[in-house]
């Protein structure tokens, strides 16, 4: 097999490329660039660069007229990436490299890079979705806190002690929801950037589970059960950051309450042989409709939601990141009652996972 020529090399690139020589005429163009510019390679070759790169801005100005790649300052070496519009209305991101014979010599070649703006548009939509999701999730508990505080301020003398206590308790629960959401958002950013800070140490998973179940019960009228029979009710030590273990178990229970029905159960047991020596398995079962096998991989992605239960769509993504950061595993299956089962295997001692960041 012979060495590929320039045209073949350019056609293998993911982005569009247009090369023009000192005479300002196109010497090479790959298939991606031709498609983005609404032309063909045969039609583009030999034509002036400004005619081939016929992109416009919102005011109808041409790319070449605005950037004058062959003119301008003799020290200029590049044209920064800019957004332009093709004839069919699609967004095209354009950059250029200017080649000179000497430090201040004339431009002898221009290499124009082009790529579709669809990826950036998707990123913008994802950011908009994040803002909308966060705003929605913050609004509900914030409205509750504000409403109860205003009622207490304006009607304090007309409320009984029991009414005041109920309002303050409810406001405290809503404030906890706000704090958890903020923590969740920060953890998403840290997991994404590999900057998740962990402070693991030996922790009794039974104590953490009892505390989490009591907290979740206080915020719901649904039944939440804790089953410690498999660990004998005694200590079950794991190697964990206690705050992160609390966050994982809380997210799993709240996810079961949000998307399931009936009883939600948290069960602790020793990990099976060969999984993690002396580790602890946490199993959360609900009595809902379950999660179809074909979508289970998507559960641990950002913004995944199912049904009408609501939620930020970030809880299971955070669970997955925190468990993996500790060297554990999390899987989804079917609960005996027909709902969903989430299984977390947590190691009893430090593993190969690097404390301080989430594995990729």
Could you tell me the pTM of the whole model?
0.60
Residue 360 lies in a domain: no
Asked whether residue 229 is domain-assigned, the answer is yes
The residue out of 116, 150, 174 marking a domain boundary is 116
Residues 207 and 251 placed together within one structural domain of the fold: yes
- Would you state the structure tokens that stand for residue 36, as one six-digit string? 């983005």
Shared domain for 246 and 312, answered yes or no, is yes
Examine the domain organization and report whether 228 and 335 are in the same domain.
yes
The pLDDT value recorded for residue 200 is 92
Task: For residue 78, give its domain range.
Answer: 13-116
pLDDT of residue 117: 85
- 272 & 179 share domain: no
DSSP 8-state secondary structure symbol assigned to residue 52: H
C-alpha torsion 258→259→261→263, nearest 10: -60
Both structure tokens of 11: 């056609």
Distance CA 180, CA 209 (A): 17
Q: Based on the fold, state whether residues 108 and 150 are members of the same structural domain.
A: no
CA neighbor of 288 nearest in space, from 251, 334, 224: 334
pLDDT at 213: 94
50: closest CA among 80, 74, 75, 84?
Answer: 84
2: in domain: no
* Residue 220 and residue 93 share a domain: no
- Going by C-alpha positions, the residue among 321, 316, 315 that lies closest to residue 300 is 316
In a domain? residue 356: no
**DSSP assignment, residue 69?**
T
First-to-last CA distance in the chain? 38
3-class SS of residue 288: coil
Q: Measured between alpha carbons, how far is 166 from 162 in angstroms, rounded to an integer?
A: 6
Q: Is residue 94 part of a domain?
A: yes
DSSP strand E in 40-176: where? Answer: 78-85, 91-100, 107-116
352, part of any domain: no
Residue 303 · residue 313 · CB < 8 Å: yes
CATH number, domain of 219, equals: 3.30.565.10
Instruction: Tell me the CATH number at 158.
Output: 1.10.287.130
Residues in the chain: 360
Which pLDDT score, from 0 to 100, does residue 312 have?
Answer: 62
* 306 vs 299: CA distance, rounded Å: 9
**For residues 126 and 95, is the Cβ–Cβ distance under 8 A?**
no
How far apart (Å, rounded) are the C-alpha atoms in residues 125 and 24? 38
Give, for 341, the enclosing helix (H) or strand (E): strand 340-346
Same domain, 64 and 104: yes
Cβ atoms 18, 29 nearer than 8 A = yes
Q: Which of 146, 171, 193 is the last residue of a domain?
A: 193
Q: Do 241 and 325 fall into the same domain? A: yes
Is the distance from CB of 296 to CB of 343 less than 8 angstroms?
Answer: no
Q: Which domain-ending residue is among 193, 216, 232?
A: 193
- Judgement on whether residues 144 and 253 belong to the same structural domain of the protein: no
Is residue 143 domain-resident? yes
61-94: pLDDT as tens digits: 999 999 999 998 888 999 999 999 998 888 899 9
If asked whether residues 24 and 82 sit together in one domain, one would say: yes
- The total domain count for the chain is 3
Does 62 share its domain with 136?
no
Q: Which residues of the chain have pLDDT under 70?
A: 1-4, 126, 130, 233, 303-312, 351-360
Question: What tokens appear for 143 in the block?
Answer: 């409205």
């Amino acid at each position: 097999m012979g060495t590929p020529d320039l045209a073949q090399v350019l056609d293998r690139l993911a982005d569009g490329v247009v090369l023009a020589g000192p005479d300002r005429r196109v010497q090479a163009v790959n298939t991606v660039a031709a498609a983005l510019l609404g032309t063909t390679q045969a039609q583009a070759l030999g034509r002036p660069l400004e005619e081939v790169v016929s992109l416009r801005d919102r005011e109808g100005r041409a790319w070449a007229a605005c950037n004058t790649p062959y003119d301008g300052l003799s020290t200029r070496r590049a044209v920064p990436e800019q957004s332009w519009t093709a004839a069919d209305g699609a967004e095209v991101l354009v950059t250029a490299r200017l080649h000179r014979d000497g430090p201040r010599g004339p431009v002898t070649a221009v290499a124009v890079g082009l790529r579709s703006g669809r990826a950036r548009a998707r990123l913008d939509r994802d950011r908009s979705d994040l803002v909308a999701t966060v705003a929605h999730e913050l609004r509900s508990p914030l409205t509750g806190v504000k409403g109860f505080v205003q009622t207490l301020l304006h009607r304090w003398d007309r409320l009984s002690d029991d009414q005041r206590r109920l309002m303050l308790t409810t406001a405290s629960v809503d404030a906890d929801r706000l704090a958890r959401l903020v923590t969740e958002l920060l953890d998403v950013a840290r997991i994404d950037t590999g900057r998740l800070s962990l402070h693991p140490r030996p922790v009794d998973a039974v104590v953490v589970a009892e505390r989490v179940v009591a907290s979740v019960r206080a915020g719901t009228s649904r039944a939440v059960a804790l089953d410690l029979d498999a660990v004998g009710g005694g200590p079950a030590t794991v190697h964990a950051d206690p705050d992160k273990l609390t966050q994982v178990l809380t997210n799993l229970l709240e996810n079961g309450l949000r998307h399931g029905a009936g009883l939600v159960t948290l069960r602790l047991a020793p990990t099976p042989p060969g999984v993690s020596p002396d580790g602890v398995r946490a199993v959360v079962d609900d009595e809902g409709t379950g999660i179809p096998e074909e979508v289970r991989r998507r559960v641990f992605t950002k913004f995944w939601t199912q049904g009408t239960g609501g939620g930020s769509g970030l809880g299971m993504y955070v669970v997955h990141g925190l468990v993996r950061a500790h060297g554990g595993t999390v899987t989804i299956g079917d609960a005996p009652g027909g709902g969903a089962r989430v299984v977390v295997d947590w190691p009893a001692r430090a593993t190969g996972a690097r404390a301080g960041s989430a594995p990729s």
